[in-house]
């Protein structure tokens, strides 16, 4: 079974440019997460989806970040415009429906963003 797939793996852009990251979760997983991982830090939640609904976006900087999960499967995270401080790894994860399983999250390999 395929794992969580993210693209691109690496992205280098100049500040003020837009960037988008894509995530395809494990088939059948209703819950999708976007985490931000700064260098030398643990992942921090940006947004969590249950199917198409964003149920926790309290940590998403809404002035420049947006996310969507159309049809409850794939998701896209966008930054516009990017700032130097956005350089980080953006991790996508998925899990079965809340209440099922044991809380384990399955992670993709991440998208590493460098803003120049």
Partner 1 sequence: AQSVTQLGSHVSVSEGALVLLRCNYSSSVPPYLFWYVQYPNQGLQLLLKYTSAATLVKGINGFEAEFKKSETSFHLTKPSAHMSDAAEYFCAVGGSQGNLIFGKGTKLSVKP
Site for partner 1, residues 57 to 86, rule: CB under 8 A = none
The smaller minimum CB distance to partner 1, of residues 13 and 105, is found at: 105
Q: Should residue 48 be labelled a site residue for partner 1 when binding is judged by CB under 8 A?
A: yes
CA distances 65 to 27, 30, 70, 77, 85, Å, are 26, 22, 17, 7, 13
Question: How far, in Å, CA of 95 to CA of 85, rounded?
Answer: 29
Q: Which residue has the tokens 């921090």?
A: 44
The smaller minimum CB distance to partner 1, of residues 24 and 110, is found at: 110
Q: Of the candidates 12, 84, 98, 116, which one interacts with partner 1 according to CB under 8 A?
A: 98
Q: Of the candidates 23, 43, 75, 88, which one interacts with partner 1 according to CB under 8 A?
A: 43
Q: Which residue has the tokens 């837009």?
A: 18
Whether a cis peptide bond, with omega within 30° of 0, leads into 10 is: no
Return residues touching partner 1 (CB under 8 A). Answer: 4, 31, 33, 40-45, 48, 56, 91, 93, 95, 98, 102-110, 112
């Amino acid at each position: 079974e395929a794992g969580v797939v993210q693209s691109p793996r690496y992205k280098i852009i100049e500040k003020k440019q837009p960037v988008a990251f894509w995530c395809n979760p494990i088939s059948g997983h209703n819950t999708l997460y976007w985490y931000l991982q700064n260098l030398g830090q643990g992942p921090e939640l940006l947004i969590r989806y249950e199917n198409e609904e964003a149920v926790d976006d309290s940590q998403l900087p809404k002035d420049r970040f947006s996310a969507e999960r159309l049809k409850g499967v794939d998701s896209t995270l966008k930054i516009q415009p990017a700032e130097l401080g956005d350089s980080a790894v953006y991790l996508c994860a998925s899990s079965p429906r809340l209440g099922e399983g044991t809380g384990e999250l399955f992670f993709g390999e991440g998208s590493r963003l460098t803003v120049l």
